[in-house]
A and B are shown apart, each in its own frame.
Chain A
Amino acid sequence: MNLLSLFGKRGASASVAKNRLQILLAHERADNGSDAALISSLREDILAVVAKRVDIDPDSVKLEMDRSGDVTTLGIDIELPAARAS
């Protein structure tokens, strides 16, 4: 054992790096980079549906993608205009 390794915590950033890469590459290999196109068309379709009922500002729609393990989740967050007082 090296004396230096007695001091401080062993860095663990390499295992984080490996983990991130494995998840990312598993998705990239499967998707061939079509993610961006998919997200953009989903965004447009969903906006169109919601816009039928309410006036929404296209800029107030947030899309989030989370890839972890074998699962990809897509989160859509639409800010509805303040309800009018009756």
Chain B
Amino acid sequence: MSNATVVVVTSGKGGVGKTTTTAAIASALAKEGYQVCAIDFDVGLRNLDLIMGAERRVVFDLVNVVRGEASIKQALVRDKKLNNLYLLPASQTRDKDALTEEGVASVISELRMYFDWVICDSPAGIERGATLAMRHADEAIIVSNPEVSSVRDCDRIIGLLDAKTKIAEDGGRMPKHLMITRYDTERAKSGDMLETDDVVDILSVPLIGVVPESKDVLKASNVGLPITVSDETSPASKAYMEAVRRLLGENIPVTIPEEKKSFLGKLFKGRAA
């Protein structure tokens, strides 16, 4: 019998890469041999199924399970490539109150028995869906772009993680990891983008990974494969795999992505040096 670690992937702001990160981390953990379940908490706007390429195999969803209309085992969708990776989809219902506190608590505690890792993909915002996604987490991955509005919203979310979660209410402190996504090294170097150290300074959360802006991420979502499955050589994929090793407790330095230099770029650099 397992006793899973529950991780919430959250950010406050939408569009920063929560779902991409959830899919990438869940798949990378599964590739390490762990039993992994990814849960989509974005009721009404589910997308984790699409990013993981499971959209055509969804029968039941989280709301069905919470309402007792389906068992967890009926609702779990097994990944088409990794047979130790499962998805618990969100429903497309418009009823925002479809998830109840007790219902979610019982789903999470049942999943803890079957899996090693449960990764909760939070919806954007600070409403019910987001607070329920973080409620039972043991650890949090906070996803931020190196951009002012995203960093500010992360700060709000950190406040919620330290106030509205089970751990916080029991007097503990939620362990947090910062994942910076869509990072552009060149722009940061030239002073047009916040550097990773700036974001770490402001939020005071240790860095778990820096994912470079990459065309491979869109390509992966186009075909419905997590980036860590579709293209292992992509810098974005490597960044996620490195983050997973850190999540597993390895003490390795965070790689700040380097821009791949074109031949012309190298030439220019050579001439100028």
Contacts and interface: CB of A to CB of B under 8 A. Distances in A.
A24 to B, nearest CB: 7
B155 A10 contact: no
How many chain B residues sit at the interface, stated as a range, is: 20 to 34
Contact of B191 (A1, A12, A24): A12
Contacts of B271: 3
Contacts, number: 51
A20 interface: yes
A15 B269 contact: no
Contacts of A22: 202
Contacts of A1: 272-273
Interface of B: 147-148, 151-152, 155-156, 159, 188, 190-195, 198, 201-202, 268-269, 271-273
A48 interface: no
Say whether chain B's binding surface is mostly helix, strand, loop, or mixed. helix
A25 B194 CA distance: 16
B272 A28 contact: no
A7 B201 CA distance: 30
Interface residues of A, number: 21
Interface string A4-25: 1110001111110110111011
26 contacts: A2-B268, A3-B272, A4-B268, A5-B190, A6-B272, A11-B192, A13-B191, A14-B191, A14-B192, A14-B193, A14-B198, A15-B191, A17-B148, A17-B194, A17-B198, A18-B194, A18-B198, A18-B201, A20-B148, A21-B148, A25-B152, A25-B202, A28-B152, A28-B155, A28-B156, A29-B155
